[in-house]
Structure 1
Amino acid sequence: MADEGSLLSVRRIYYRGKLNSCNYTCSYCPFGKKSHRPSTAQDRQAWNRFITAIEQWKGETLQLFVIPYGEALIHRYYREGIVRLAALPHVAGISCQTNLSFLADEWLSELRAIPALRGKIRIWASFHPEMTTVERFAGQLHRLCKEGIQVCAGAVGNPSAKNVLNELRKALSPEIYLFINAMQGLKSPLSDEDVRFFTRLDNLFEYDLHNAPAQWEHCASGRTSCFIDWKGNIFACPRSKVKIGNLYRNQTLDTSLPCRRKVCDCYIAFSNLTNHPLRRVMGEGAFWRIPDRPLITAVFFDVDGTLTDTQGRVPESYADTLRYMAESVPLYLATSLSVEQARRKLGKALFGLFKGGVFADGGLLLYGNGQHLCLPVELPSDINEESVRITAHSYQGQIYKYSILIRDKERREECLSRFEENSCRIFYRPPLIAVTHRQAGKKRGVLQICEKLSLPLGQVLVVGNSLHDCEMMAAVHHSCAVVNSEPLLKERARYTLNPDRLPAFFRFRK
């Protein structure tokens, strides 16, 4: 392995040619104001020179990303060059930013002779509502995706385009990640409602909205990744103005030169920060902006605040996603609610999508194969009084949870003391007291179901919203806090995603 400071230690390269024009004329884009020039000889020559240098590469296995100033894939020489690079054994993958205005079928036809290369090619597709339709853009993307090319889609967060961006999200397959870039040059900041809207479309929007402080000591740029322009000049990343080498003149990088920027103000820049949360959420796919999508063979959902909104209802987008997921992966609940309460909250149809789960904080386990485990609970004899409203939750004749409503504060405190003497497990939210068996617990329940059904913990996803869920989420490899979760839970969870965005970040067993 090459030493740091050697060009051969680089594993990821961004390339930008001399091309600086586009066939689109979007009002918000500087490249759209430049007409497409028929003469591309200099850009083509630079591109071929870069390809030759990569063919002769003697260093680490490479990932390559073409990030043109304009639209590259309408030019055949770019498409042919990408295929040529993808065919190299030391190139693990190659991506290109594009507006998808090229003919997907034409490129797929060009790839037909070497279908294995499609698995190496990725597409970062940008949607421009002024220049194309949702139907055409989504159709192109799905066509490429169907043929084994990994894709992501993105758009500028223009408040005036909210309706069409919402249509785009609905038109795209749930498995395609749609990102929203914060719009630059707005006369006034985004409203809170705009931010909430764009965050619903892209749960990672907050990172693009606020960017990140530059941290040279935590940056992979200029060390294991770099940006190369059409002259072969090397920079830490596309936002850095400090030249640290040249691809065609030497094999060393001057890593002593910091980029001098105070903020990483674009995705490509801050995705190279090794301590950025994106690295945890996207994995190695952060380079492409395409999530790694680890395999998941079972999902556990909390209910209140996770599957339901502030009004206690399940949003339609969540319901659609649950139906979609249930076709590929077994779903389970992990809730403090009883079976009856969960069925009432979710509705009979949605509740029927779940194989079973952990109910009453582990007081009852339904394994989904007709088997169950009930931890029976009893109340002290002196609790049953007229001033106390008691609801018993039972399964096949066994009581596994009591819900006790006590309006009088002094009486509540007396009852709490009695429950503690009996070593019951108590969940207290005045004026309600929930009582379950002392051994009940969401974590214990999730682990028991996984053991009983031979579900590997490394392929189990748990989704919750409160610190009450933290213990069970820590018991599995893939933990997810919904966007409106308690801040501390989001810090501890591996992912922060809403239920309707899960298919874009996880691969479910087919």
Structure 2
Amino acid sequence: MPLSILYRGRLSSCNYDCPYCPFAKHHDSRAALEHDARDLRRFVDWAAGQARMLSILFTPWGEGLVRRHYRDAMVSLSHLRHLRRVAIQTNLCVGTRWLDEANLDTLALWCTYHPGQVSRTAFVKRCQELHRRGVRHSVGMVAMQEHLDEIDALRDALPASVPMWLNAYDERPAGYYSEGDVERLKQVDPHFLLNLEPPPSLGAPCATGEDVVSVNGNGEVTRCHFVAAPLGNLYDGSFERYLGARPCPNARCDCYIGYAHRKDLPIQRDYATGLLERIRR
């Protein structure tokens, strides 16, 4: 059975200083970065030795592509014959030359624009380069009130074929979005309401723990990033015996990398093979 893996290693550093992010301008020590690189090499080696089809999404607590070991991992994984997709969440702050060595049939980027950290002109130029190269990518933003005009401007600046997604601002007070705001944002991302007002999750059917798992740098496997109960370890294979269909144990799931795997929502149908990189079919 194909297996999708959400990998989150030790990396927690970022070169950006977004006010809504707890890892803004955090710096990893050299020892932590070296440990993260060793963990990642071990994971890539494990993936290379698998026979089943794999899809992999890197979801670091920080910016991975500024680190060479993540770029190298993306390139190496993209060439595996049994790899369906390898993607990473990124602020797209690095150049694109590293993509020369990648297999663009399998590689994809989940790109986030952060106003105040980079100019729209510079960010759009990077997106245009990805488009020119034929790199699968989605683009999105956190829908803060002060950025509503910027959201529209970015949508207008991007090629129509590039999908754009929006995350609701987590720290919003009650009534943060007006009805008009919500309708405006739905014009950019038709699935915005699933992020803003996710339906109750408890007992909902979910693919996590069945054909989707989360893995940390030690190889410890859980069903997803938001359920801490261990399923075993990736490297000794102990997680395999615990894979199976099970309902969601959480009351609420408001993060795309969680609710995207719910079987009762339209996400799986609408995104299909672009689920990990957040690209609608």
- Find the partner of 2:64 among 46, 59, 72: 72
Partner of 1:249: helix, strand, or coil? coil
Is 1:281 the equivalent of 2:267?
A: no
Distance in 2, matches of 1:243 and 1:168, equals: 40
Instruction: Tell me how far 1:10 sits from its aligned partner.
Output: 4.9
Is 1:171 the equivalent of 2:162?
A: no
Is 1:246 the equivalent of 2:233?
A: yes
Partner of 1:263: helix, strand, or coil? coil
Distance in 2, matches of 1:196 and 1:236, equals: 34
**What does residue range 348-387 of structure 1 map to in structure 2 within 5 Å?**
none
Distance in 2, matches of 1:239 and 1:10, equals: 22
Is 1:128 the equivalent of 2:114?
A: yes
Give CA-to-partner distance per residue, 1:244-280, whole Å, 9 cap, x none. Answer: 1210123424247765311122111111011211222
**What does residue range 161-310 of structure 1 map to in structure 2 within 5 Å?**
161-189=147-175, 190-214=177-201, 216=203, 218-251=205-238, 252-255=240-243, 260-292=249-281
What's the TM-score once normalised by structure 2's chain length? Answer: 0.92
Residue identity in the other structure for 1:119: D
- Equivalences, count: 277
**What does residue range 21-100 of structure 1 map to in structure 2 within 5 Å?**
21-35=13-27, 37-39=29-31, 40-58=33-51, 60-100=52-92
Give CA-to-partner distance per residue, 1:113-154, whole Å, 9 cap, x none. Answer: x6xx11211000011001011111111112112212100001
- Alignment root-mean-square deviation, CA: 1.8
Segment of structure 1 superposing worse, 35-44 or 20-29: 35-44
Partner of 2:104: helix, strand, or coil? helix
Residue identity in the other structure for 2:260: S
Distance in 2, matches of 1:133 and 1:36, equals: 26
**Any conservation in 1 of the 2:202–2:247 contact (CA below 8 Å)?**
no
Segment of structure 1 superposing worse, 257-266 or 38-47: 257-266
Q: Unaligned 5+ residue runs, structure 1?
A: 1-8, 293-510
With a CA cutoff of 8 Å and minimum separation of 6, indicate the structure with the bigger relative contact order.
Answer: 2
Q: Which residue of 2 aligns with 1:431?
A: none
Distance in 2, matches of 1:72 and 1:280, equals: 29
**Any conservation in 2 of the 1:242–1:259 contact (CA below 8 Å)?**
no
- Structure whose CA Rg is larger: 1
For residues 286 and 216 of structure 1, do their structure 2 counterparts lie closer, same or farther at Cα, with a shift above 3 Å needed? farther
Instruction: Tell me how far 1:108 sits from its aligned partner.
Output: 3.0
What's the TM-score once normalised by structure 1's chain length? Answer: 0.52
Instruction: Tell me how far 1:33 sits from its aligned partner.
Output: 4.6
**Any conservation in 2 of the 1:222–1:253 contact (CA below 8 Å)?**
no
Runs of 4+ in 1 over 4 A off after TM superposition: 36-39, 255-259
Partner of 1:153: helix, strand, or coil? strand
**What does residue range 310-459 of structure 1 map to in structure 2 within 5 Å?**
none
